[in-house]
Amino acid sequence: QQQVRQSPQSLTVWEGETAILNCSYEDSTFDYFPWYHQFPGESPALLIAIRPVSNKKEDGRFTIFFNKREKKFSLHIADSQPGDSATYFCAASHSSNTNKVVFGTGTRLQVLP
Amino acid sequence: NSKVIQTPRYLVKGQGQKAKMRCIPEKGHPVVFWYQQNKNNEFKFLINFQNQEVLQQIDMTEKRFSAECPSNSPCSLEIQSSEAGDSALYLCASSLLGKDTEVFFGKGTRLTVV
Q: What is the tens place of the pLDDT at every residue in A12-33? A: 999 999 999 999 999 888 888 9
Domain that holds residue A43: 4-112
The distance of A16 to chain B (nearest Cα, Å) reads 27
Would the pLDDT of A110 be above 70?
Answer: yes
Distance CA A75, CA A43 (A): 20
Of A34, A45, A105, the CB nearest to B41: A105
Q: Which CATH superfamily is domain B5-113 in?
A: Immunoglobulins (2.60.40.10)
Q: Cβ of B31 and A89 within 8 Å?
A: no
Partner-chain contact B106 A96, CB within 8 Å: no
Q: Convert B55-82 to b/e letters by CB count within 10 Å (16 or more is b).
A: bebeeebeeebebebeeeebbbbebeeb
The CATH number given to whatever domain includes residue A43 is 2.60.40.10
Task: Write out chain A residues lying below 8 Å of B97, CB-based.
Answer: 97-98
Instruction: List, for residues B23-70, the tens digit of each pLDDT value.
Output: 999 999 999 999 999 988 889 999 999 988 998 888 765 589 999 999
Q: Which residues of B touch A45 (CB under 8 A)?
A: 2, 105
Amino acid occupying residue A47: L
Residue B65 · residue B79 · CB < 8 Å? yes
What is the predicted pLDDT for the residue at B61? 57
Domain boundaries, chain B: 5-113
Domain tally, chain A: 1
* pLDDT over 90 (residue A78): yes
Count interface pairs A-B at CB distance under 8 A: 57
